[in-house]
Chain A
């Protein structure tokens, strides 16, 4: 225990030893692949050979209609999931935080249950519920209001609904929990002050809750943008594979997977990945700047 002489045991060296595993994995499994993503995107990669082709992969992407569709699909999905998975969970969290709801613990737990299932299971269940047969759940619902059976997963807008329902099903509970923890940090005295000043419930929500929840909202928005843009497995499971009719379910990562793994064109797949990275960065930084994240001092 008393090895005071040894440098490794000194207070100066210890922090280096502690963070060493991170530095190693960071370099091997993050920096290196990130750099090689850029390098590989400028190469034509065959089974044995690699040749430098400059920006030809990117030029090809510009003219690739399937890729454009994948970008459009992912973008649409991202916008819609953000629109659905921020306001509603926020509202649920405010309600669960108030005094009007009984049995909060049960609801919190039940709302989290969908997040426990893996995409394989939830995707399969939803695929079977959105089946084109008359007896599938969604068509049973349609029959209730007197509509004929519908081929949900073969038409663009209804398949978008299926994806969104699946996404909302899985993440509503999680996002509600995020907002609830954000609400906990709001000083309750502010509401008392508000009610003394004669503010009604809506005004208090609008002028106290929403502004003070902003850090949480920005956090949820940031992860939702990333998750939305890089969605893949949901669509992979919903169509039981990477092929959907007329590519209505193809996402950017789906396309990356298709080119890289299924068609063995790693260089092109890496170019897709780089475009995704740039898109995600641009969108998130714009969002963070608009929300004033870079104006004030961090921490």
Chain B
């Protein structure tokens, strides 16, 4: 041990003298690696984007690969989607349904989850810790297991084929409650007492004092929740029956018939379906990254 510490100063000098070029080479190699990795990860979407400017029959006949051959490249698929015909009407209906479902889901989920975690976090009661354990417990059972009985239940209480049937089971999303909890736990509780002394009641404090403070948590959760809802497929696939209620994910899935010739709509529609969520991601990127990683910090 003594030897090592005695050697330390000389090591430090050595380290300072590390050849700059070696470090530069390492930087180039590592950065290059991430460039390469990112390119691979973006590549399938890029192929899809290029393919969306070609006739859909190409996809059925050839499969998907990067094909930069400029012949047959046209805006036809998109023009078709934006013109007034049966397919495009259907597509925009799905789009609208997805939008509405996402907005309603985000609004309700955030409000409910905020109040639940407020009740758990802001009051030191036994009830709070029990509820917290129950929230964690719901995380320990994969949704797929509850799927069948829940579906039966939806039929029994007549919520099948309604938006409520899709939204209600996920209303108290454990991950969202958990996130709010993590955020609120660091907030000073004195604020509550200050409010009480000023004569505010509990609900006034929760809505008018604490809610504005939790705005960053709301932003992060709104985006994550929107992404989840926009891309949600399995549960809506089971609950929605009438074609007029289909969302984008289920709708696009119906185009995947073995003899379908709707690949024009499928590929262009798929690319368009990524646009809203991509836009949200690019604008709120920082929040998203904070949001998804909160759960992992504490394990």
Contact = CB atoms under 8 A, between A and B. Distances in A.
A107 B32 CA distance: 11
Given A1-B199, A220-B296, A276-B144, A22 B273 contact: no
A1 B119 contact: no
A136 B150 CA distance: 40
Interface in A242-270: 253, 256-257, 260-261, 266, 269-270
B295 interface: yes
A228 to B, nearest CB: 10
A198 B177 CA distance: 45
Interface in B115-130: 115-116, 118-120, 122-123, 125, 127-128
B119 A129 contact: no
A136 B67 CA distance: 10
Interface in B174-218: 177, 196, 199-204, 206
Interface in A1-53: 1-3, 9-11, 14-19, 21-23, 25-26, 28-30, 32-34, 36-37, 40
- Which interface class (under 10, 10 to 19, 20 to 34, 35 or more) fits B? 35 or more
B134 interface: yes
A82 interface: no
Interface in B77-135: 112, 115-116, 118-120, 122-123, 125, 127-128, 131, 134-135
Contacts of B5: 196-197
B42 A113 contact: yes
Interface in A192-239: 195-198, 215-216, 218-220, 226, 229-230, 232-233, 237
A129 B44 contact: yes
Contacts of B135: 22
Given A100-B30, A219-B299, A11 B202 contact: yes
A114 B238 CA distance: 25
B66 to A, nearest CB: 7
A102 B296 contact: no
Interface range, A side: 35 or more
B234 A21 contact: no
A80 interface: no
B234 A177 contact: no
Interface of A: 1-3, 9-11, 14-19, 21-23, 25-26, 28-30, 32-34, 36-37, 40, 92, 95-96, 98, 100-103, 106-114, 116-122, 124-126, 128-133, 135-137, 139-140, 169, 172-174, 177-182, 185, 195-198, 215-216, 218-220, 226, 229-230, 232-233, 237, 240-241, 253, 256-257, 260-261, 266, 269-270, 273-274, 276-277, 280-281, 284
Given A101-B30, A116-B278, A181-B297, 10 more contacts: A11-B123, A14-B206, A22-B172, A111-B38, A113-B278, A124-B256, A129-B64, A218-B299, A240-B256, A284-B140
